[in-house]
Amino acid sequence: MGERTATRSLVVAHALARRIGRPAPREAISRILVAHNLLLGDTLMLTPLLAKLRLNHPQASVTLLAAPGTVRLYEHRPYGVRALPFTPSDSSTTRALLEEEPFDLAFVVGDNRYSWLAAAMRARRIVAHAGDARWSKNVFVDEARPYASSPSSWGDMVADLADGADPPAYAREQWQAPGAGSFPVPPMPYAVLHVGASTPLKRWPAPRWAALAAELEGRGYSIAWSAGRGEEAIVRECDPPGRHASYAGRLDLAQMWHLVANADLLVAPDTGIAHLGRVTATPTVALFGPGSAALCAPGKFWGAMPWIAVGLDPFPCRDQRMLFGRRVEWVRRCARTVEQCAEPKCMHAIGIDAVLAAIGRLQAAREL
C-alpha cells in the first residue's frame, strides 16, 4: 500500500467512525483547526484568517496544518498559532493528527476533500467554501460559504470564512523569524533574484535576469541568486560566468527566510518565495504570468507591505476561471501544462523596464 493510499484509508475510516452520532457543537470555542494541503505561497496567504481568528477568539487554541518543511516558519507561533505537519505522502503525519483532542470548529481551505480529515480529527463543526462540485468532498461540511462575487484577494476570501471583526493590517513584528542554521550572507546591500518556479511556464527568460542583475549591480547591490533544489542549472543559465553568489538548492526554508528578510530587494516569479517576501516585509517585485495578480493582491491585510505585482493584465490566454475546482466568473488564470503551452508568452511579455520601474516605486516609497 502506498503512502497516499494509507493516508486516505486512515482518514476515511476515522471520519466515518468519529462523525456518526457526533455531539452538537458547544457554544464556547476553545479549539480551532485550519485544515488544507496547500503549497507555501497559498499557506502564507492564510495569515489574514489566522489573525482574524486570534482577534475574535483570543483564548482559543488555533492549530494550522502545513507541509512539514513549512512548519518551521511557525516556530514562534505567530498569532499564537500552532502549526502541525501534514502531507498525504507520509501517512505518519496523519496518524499523529488523529491523536489530537477534538476541535470545536474547523476551517477547510482550498480542496474540500480535507473536510474528511477535519472530521477524522473530530471537528464538531466544519466550515468551507461552497462550489466544490463533487458531493463526496462536502459530506462533512456543515457550512459552505461562497467565494467573493467580485475581484478579491485570496487572503481576504479565506478570512471571510470566519465571523467577526477584521484584524488590523499586518505588521512585520507580528511574526518572529524562525531559528536557522548559519550560512554565508552576501555583502550588504543585496538583492535576491529568485529565478526558480514550480513550472517552467512561470520562469522569466534568463537573459532578462542577467540584464537585471547587471543593472542592480551597477546601482550598488550585491546579487544573490536563488532557486530550489534541482534548479541549479537555471541559475547557471542566468549567470554563466558565476559572477554572483548562488544559493540555489543550498538553503532550507528557515534559512531562506533570513536571506530574504535581510535583503534590500527581492524579485521573484509568482511563487512561495514571493509571498515570503511579503511576510518578511522585504521590498518585493513579483512577476505574474499564468497566475492571477488580482487573487494575490495585498487586499486589506497586506496593504502596508512593500510588494508590487508586475505583469500584463489582461493577457489573452490567461482566460481560465477555475479556482480550487470552482468556477468563479471574475477569475482570470492559466493552469495549462507545458504540454499544452509550448512557450510562456505571458512571462516573456514582462519587460525589464517594467521591473525596474516597480523597483523605483518601491525605493521611492521607502524614502518617504
pLDDT classification of 26: cutoffs 50, 70, 90: low
pLDDT classification of 225: cutoffs 50, 70, 90: very high
Which residues lie below 8 Å from residue 194, measured CB to CB, with a gap of 6+? 226, 227, 266, 267, 268, 269, 271, 273, 274
* pLDDT > 90 fraction of the chain, expressed in percent and rounded: 91
Q: What is the pLDDT of residue 313?
A: 93
pLDDT in tens, 246-281: 999 999 999 999 999 999 999 999 999 999 999 999
Report the C-alpha gap between 192 and 129 in whole angstroms.
36
pLDDT for 25 beyond 60 = no
Q: What is the pLDDT of residue 349?
A: 97
pLDDT in tens, 305-315: 999 999 999 99
Q: What is the pLDDT of residue 17?
A: 83
| Burial of residue 315 (number of CB atoms within 10 Å: 0-12, 13-18, 19+) | middle
Q: Mean per-residue pLDDT for 120-142?
A: 94
pLDDT for 134 beyond 90 = no
Which residues lie below 8 Å from residue 277, measured CB to CB, with a gap of 6+? 260, 266, 268, 283, 284, 286, 307
Least confident of 8-12, 217-221, 282-286: 8-12
pLDDT for 340 beyond 90 = yes
pLDDT in tens, 152-172: 999 999 999 999 999 999 999
Q: What is the pLDDT of residue 21?
A: 55
Can you give the pTM of this predicted structure?
A: 0.95
For the chain, give the mean pLDDT: 95
pLDDT classification of 24: cutoffs 50, 70, 90: low
* pLDDT > 70 fraction of the chain, expressed in percent and rounded: 97
Q: What is the pLDDT of residue 22?
A: 58
The SS3 of residue 34 is strand
Report the C-alpha gap between 264 and 55 in whole angstroms.
31
Q: Mean per-residue pLDDT for 169-191?
A: 97
pLDDT in tens, 192-221: 999 999 999 999 999 999 999 999 999 999
The SS3 of residue 62 is strand
Q: Mean per-residue pLDDT for 318-342?
A: 95
| Signed CA dihedral, 15, 20, 24, 30: sign only | negative
pLDDT for 19 beyond 80 = no
Q: Mean per-residue pLDDT for 84-97?
A: 97
